[in-house]
Amino acid sequence: MAVNKENYNAIIQELAGKATLVAVSKTKPVEDILALYALGQRDFGENYVQELLAKQPVLPADIRWHFIGHLQSNKVKFIAPLVALIHGVDSVKLLSEINRQAEKLQKTIHVLLQVHIAKEETKFGMDEQELAELMEGNALPAMKNICISGLMGMASFTTDETLVQQEFSFLASLYKRFGALASSRQLPNVRFSHLSMGMSGDYRLAIANGSNMVRIGSLLFGEREKK
Ligand SMILES: *Cc1c(COP(=O)(O)O)cnc(C)c1O
């Protein structure tokens, strides 16, 4: 499988100054990752813990690994030493386990809170209420080894652009609201800088709605085999 260099160059140009590209390399071989690395790409996203653990040691050390899948608490310890940003944090339980592992390593782990914006049942994430409870509650300030760097979300898988646009703009409004709340509460471990939304099929719409980090797989690496 060859990577699509034309798409890569076009997307990089299109995103310049607006959004960071996370190249989603799940299920793809290390050769494909190296091919994009050679073009200058440094941010890569993986969904599965075992796969990330297999790839990371054989690839260049200056790659920034983004964990974008659903993370179970008992797997946090495996990725904590090597991950640059965990996108899919959707519970206080998971957050406190990340904090615990970060503390052991004497480092700060950067995370994004995943918000459920799609109409589909299957997508993970907190709702607005849970987000508010976390941001306004007392559990957060005690977690000194995490930094909440923003929000992440996935729109519905649909051709209905109006719906996708509504979901993205809703997430962008939460990003503004809770970013401002964190500043006013002076939460030291919350610094919103990343709004991670947009994939191969909807990244343009996401950017038009304020995304500054897109996660793109199939446009760069080709379609994936079904797992
Ligand atoms: C697989 C995946 C992507 C990339 O999807 P494409 O449609 O191939 O661009 C982005 N975000 C998450 C959370 C994913 O699981």
Q: Of 22, 95, 94, which is closest to residue 64 (Cα–Cα)?
A: 22
Q: Which residues of 186-213 are buried (b: 16+ CB within 10 A; e: fewer)?
A: eeebbebebbbbbbbebbebbbebbbbb
Give the pTM: 0.96
Q: Is 210 left (phi over 0), alpha (psi -120 to 50) or beta?
A: left
66 Cα: distance to centroid of ligand 1 (angstroms): 12
pLDDT of res. 43: 98
Q: C-alpha angle 215/21/175, rounded to 5°?
A: 65
Cβ of 199 closer than 6 Å to ligand 1, yes or no, is yes
Residue owning the nearest CA to atom 11 of ligand 1: 215
Cβ of 200 closer than 6 Å to ligand 1, yes or no, is yes
pLDDT of res. 227: 54
Q: What share of the chain has pLDDT > 70, as a percent?
A: 98
Q: Distances from the Cα of 75 to the Cαs of 38, 78, 94, in angstroms?
A: 30, 6, 10
User: CA torsion sign, 87 to 122 to 168 to 202?
Assistant: positive
* CB of 219 closer than 8 Å to CB of 7: yes
Cβ of 215 closer than 6 Å to ligand 1, yes or no, is yes
24 Cα: distance to centroid of ligand 1 (angstroms): 6
Res. 30: pLDDT tops 60: yes
pLDDT confidence band for 23 (50 / 70 / 90) = very high
Res. 225: pLDDT tops 90: no
pLDDT confidence band for 124 (50 / 70 / 90) = confident
Give the chain's radius of gyration (CA, Å). 17
Cβ of 216 closer than 6 Å to ligand 1, yes or no, is yes
In sequence order, which residues have a C-beta less than 8 Å from that of residue 62 and are 6 or more positions away? 42
Residue keyed to tokens 């191969």: 200
For residues 174 and 177, give the distance between their C-alpha atoms in angstroms, rounded to a whole number: 5
- Helices marked H in 82-222 — which ranges? 92-104, 128-136, 161-185, 203-208, 218-221
- Cα 139 → chain centroid: 22
- Tens digits of residue pLDDT in 40-75: 999 999 999 999 999 999 999 999 999 999 999 999
Cβ of 68 closer than 6 Å to ligand 1, yes or no, is yes
* CB of 115 closer than 8 Å to CB of 126: yes
Residue owning the nearest CA to atom 10 of ligand 1: 215
Q: Of 102, 109, 30, which is closest to residue 63 (Cα–Cα)?
A: 30
pLDDT confidence band for 119 (50 / 70 / 90) = confident
Average pLDDT, the chain: 95
pLDDT mean over 81-95: 97
Which of 68, 113, 171, 213, when mutated, tests ligand 1's pocket best, judged by the most ligand atoms within 8 Å of its CB?
68
- Tens digits of residue pLDDT in 97-106: 999 999 999 9
188 Cα: distance to centroid of ligand 1 (angstroms): 31
pLDDT of res. 6: 97
**Least confidently predicted of 78-87, 103-112, 179-188:** 179-188
